[in-house]
Structure 1
Amino acid sequence: MDNQATNLRELIRNFKNNLVQHYFQFRINTSKSPYKVRLRTKPYRILFILSHMRSGSSLLTHLLNSNPEIIGYGETHIQYSSELDFKKLMFKVYLQGREFNKLEHFNNFRMNHKYILDKVLHDHKFLDKSFLNSENIYIIFLVREPERSLNSIITLKPHWTQEKTLDYYCTRLSMLANYAEMVNSKQHSLFVTYDQLVNHTETVFNALKIFLGTEEGFSEQYEILRTTGMQGIGDSSENIKAGRIIKNARKLENKISQDRVEKGMECFNQCCAILTQYCTTVQ
């Protein structure tokens, strides 16, 4: 009897999942515009968090995603060769980001969000960068100072050398600066540091609300998703599962030499100077 009940539940679950999948495929793939879906006239805006590893991007993702006008779940790892790949983003975000086991998740069938969110932490994800100048693209640049970033990266990647860790950090910061120069639009790009996000949270929230034009503001509490803490999608530490901003920094394990931290600070300062010049900043 128990086996029959289990099998029935499995059949119902599979039927539900197939139905959900076909629904989103119909809505997303039958509209030719990369920013539109069927049964909706208004185009989506694509919101990118452009950052580096161990920057606090998972925290920012969860804070943004808790706003009802924004939907996303973390790093999708899509390689964007054109605007048409936004269809892949829509499908991943709507289908994989929720389990549809809560009543509020079924509101996503309406597909009435203003922004579709993805975060990109590596240089090779944009095979074509020209679409970043689209009027439907909005970018939040997030960076973190080198001492904690570098030590956290090498903890995450223990097979990396100190030199490789520094090279990733500086190369990525240089690319972020290049993106900002290329977009060259304060209306479409916002610059935030991790320190601002954690220690000047309300100021950042006000800046986000103005920049994104959302009706609702943002909160220090956020929803735990089924993807929260998953490796490869975002932060896998326990802090991200708290459902709120934790302002007390974890004890720092110094694994990076001071000379490399100083070199990282040069890269950080250069990047911040360019982002400040080309992006809206947190006041």
Structure 2
Amino acid sequence: MWKFHRICGKQISLENNCTTAKRLNPTETSSDGICFTNTPLVNGKVYEIQVDELVQGWTYSLNLSVTTNIPPNLTEIRWAGKLKESWLLCGDYLYKNGKGISAYSLNSDTVQVGDKLGIMIASDSTLHFYLNGIDHGKAFSNLPEVVYGVVDLYGACCQVSIINKDCNSKKGNTENREFATGAGAGAQVAIKKAHNFSGRPADWNVQTVCEFIESIPNYAPYVEKFRSEQVNGAALLALDKKDLKEFFEMPLGLAVNVCLHLKKYEEKNK
């Protein structure tokens, strides 16, 4: 079970045995909301937090990062991008040691209350960011052996809580989703429990295909593209990961997830 470290930004109040972080005076100041994991990250483990509360008035929001050390004093470090030896996701852009590197497929500025964000160091020392259980792919490579997670309650985000899955499972709290690993993506992607789509996928009309796409978490933005292109079941079966990436502009992890989900229905309705 992980918690937030007691060293944190001056506007942070730690509650619920250091598993909830709340930024004080969120409408007056956007910064001083840095939190750290209380222990270094374990490779292969996804560290997740849930967004509990947002406020109006700021166009930017939560930042996620890792760093090699926790400074004893944060007086002059009001934003996670100022941390030395840090790898940061701010909005939809990646920063290393405060310097912009490249765009990323996940935008932390658009999170909503109830969204779950996560970070993971993979076995190959790459850093991955998650949104609602979906791995958005490699963000950084060659991470040091020892790093701490950083959650920066910035701008609109003023309260988050830690999700400790081990504790949840002991209480019998199982989420309404299952996980599958896409070999091409090297990523873990989430799939909702099956809707009762009838018939073989090859026989689906355009509307059923759209309902199928919408049933997968975070795929709603792609539905209208499938509808406008009149993709029926037969056409969907003809698409592969490359088509979904290039034509529908899906990240690889999302494209793999569609193929996995579709394969499941094909096997069920043979």
More helix by share: 1
Q: Which structure is richer in relative contact order (CA contacts within 8 A, separation 6 or more)?
A: 1
TM over 0.5: no
Q: TM-score range by the shorter chain?
A: under 0.3
TM-score, normalization by structure 2? 0.26
